[in-house]
Copies of this chain bind each other. A is one copy, B any other.
């Protein structure tokens, strides 16, 4: 991979950043004082980028800068800085369709691959809160609104075909980030690959059985084809609970650098996958056993609330703002046609539900057998306990991916999660 780094690009440090940002009037106004008075700390804990908090006498901002390689791995894995461009493009578009649910963009510096954003305080990464068993009562509503609005409004249901094609082209260059997904989610967990790791030896047998499961490999390959050749809508592309910042009253979706025009179910699936992984991980976070039972119920309730809220919001948008070139209104403006269209909308959502379950399953499996894991599971120190949570997740994921048609509703999915959570995955006591 050839990484094109603009001549002006310099990775920032807490020391250099105030000098760079001091030239931006909007930032000076927001932070107050002079750059020498600004306090900077690097706080990035993600896999890819530098993240700084910058505070001045009157306020603070968050600054995200792309590195020309994958931070998690190092310079041996180059990654284009252009991902900041795509993230900026997506942030602006998301803010238009889902106002108040993303961090406001204050400044974008293309040469530096740097985005200055609203500092979200006292927000924390939702994943951390969920590991601690914190309930977020407004999260499901906010996230279903975000997904329904951003996906609907960037789809052919809302857009003119020519505008949609321009949107596809605008994101077509984000190939390196799409490539990460194609490799790490849809391919490597199903084969012997250097990047893979899992809780060993506990999961060795399950990992091997997944690599030998031809039905599963066909199913994940179909999902990969859909990911590569279905331009349904602009998707966030990495919509897990680590991309959500929350308080009890506010929800913001961050980090859309994987954005491109792809299948909607990839976003909705990501949400459900990460909630389910957290659900299965609770065995490693509760003491005494059962202490997190009501939290478990909240998590699965959120799965249901998210999906059902997504559906009703998406359908409401379709009915009120379905002015795109797909299912053109002119064909369905009589009463009978309207009834048929309403039935077709239900079928459309059912198809999206199947996609969602398939993508959710792919995301669950990759977090357990692939390169990048979730701390929901990783933070469980006892490997035997962790392996139980992971094995249950894997088994449920396999059943979702190979038989999404077995689940008629999201309640069927949460019911299945409860069943999988009750089994002894290694059969030791059977």
Task: Determine the chain B residues whose CB is within 8 A of the CB of A166 once the complex forms.
Answer: 172, 175
Is A209 part of the binding interface, using a Cβ–Cβ cutoff of 8 Å?
Answer: no
Asked whether B187 lies within 8 Å of A330 as measured between CB atoms, the reply is: yes
Name A334-373 residues within 8 Å CB distance of B: 334, 336-337, 339-341, 344
Name A215-237 residues within 8 Å CB distance of B: 215, 217-218, 221, 224-225, 228-232
Shortest Cβ distance from residue A195 to the other chain B in the assembled complex, whole angstroms: 13
Measured in the bound complex, the distance between the Cα atoms of B160 and A175 in whole Å is 10
Residue of B nearest to A344 (CB): B218
Is A77 part of the binding interface, using a Cβ–Cβ cutoff of 8 Å?
Answer: no
Task: Determine the chain B residues whose CB is within 8 A of the CB of A291 once the complex forms.
Answer: none
Residue of B nearest to A193 (CB): B330
Is A325 part of the binding interface, using a Cβ–Cβ cutoff of 8 Å?
Answer: yes
Asked whether B161 lies within 8 Å of A175 as measured between CB atoms, the reply is: yes
Task: Determine the chain B residues whose CB is within 8 A of the CB of A341 once the complex forms.
Answer: 214, 218
C-beta contact mask, A130-171 vs B, less than 8 Å → 1, else 0? 000000000000000000000000011000011011101100
Residue of B nearest to A326 (CB): B225
Which secondary structure dominates where chain A touches chain B?
A: helix
Task: Determine the chain B residues whose CB is within 8 A of the CB of A224 once the complex forms.
Answer: 325-327
Asked whether A182 lies within 8 Å of B169 as measured between CB atoms, the reply is: no
Asked whether B175 lies within 8 Å of A172 as measured between CB atoms, the reply is: no
Asked whether B165 lies within 8 Å of A178 as measured between CB atoms, the reply is: yes
Residue of B nearest to A162 (CB): B175
Measured in the bound complex, the distance between the Cα atoms of B243 and A178 in whole Å is 36
Residue of B nearest to A1 (CB): B162
Asked whether B164 lies within 8 Å of A340 as measured between CB atoms, the reply is: no
Is A17 part of the binding interface, using a Cβ–Cβ cutoff of 8 Å?
Answer: no
Asked whether B218 lies within 8 Å of A340 as measured between CB atoms, the reply is: yes
Given known A218-B341, A230-B230, A337-B214, contact A161–B179 (CB-CB < 8 A): yes
Is A332 part of the binding interface, using a Cβ–Cβ cutoff of 8 Å?
Answer: yes
Q: How many copies does the complex hold?
A: 2
Residue of B nearest to A263 (CB): B229
Task: Determine the chain B residues whose CB is within 8 A of the CB of A340 once the complex forms.
Answer: 214-215, 217-218
Asked whether B161 lies within 8 Å of A327 as measured between CB atoms, the reply is: no
Asked whether A327 lies within 8 Å of B225 as measured between CB atoms, the reply is: yes
Residue of B nearest to A181 (CB): B161
Measured in the bound complex, the distance between the Cα atoms of B190 and A215 in whole Å is 41
Given known A172-B166, A172-B168, contact A156–B218 (CB-CB < 8 A): no
Measured in the bound complex, the distance between the Cα atoms of B327 and A397 in whole Å is 20
Asked whether B221 lies within 8 Å of A187 as measured between CB atoms, the reply is: no
Is A422 part of the binding interface, using a Cβ–Cβ cutoff of 8 Å?
Answer: no
Task: Determine the chain B residues whose CB is within 8 A of the CB of A173 once the complex forms.
Answer: 165, 169
Is A29 part of the binding interface, using a Cβ–Cβ cutoff of 8 Å?
Answer: no
Q: Which listed residue, B164, B175, B331, B344, touches A187 by the CB 8 Å rule? A: B331
Q: Using a CB–CB distance below 8 Å, which chain A residues touch chain B?
A: 155-156, 161-162, 164-166, 168-169, 172-173, 175-176, 178-179, 182, 187, 190-191, 212, 214-215, 217-218, 221, 224-225, 228-232, 325-328, 330-332, 334, 336-337, 339-341, 344
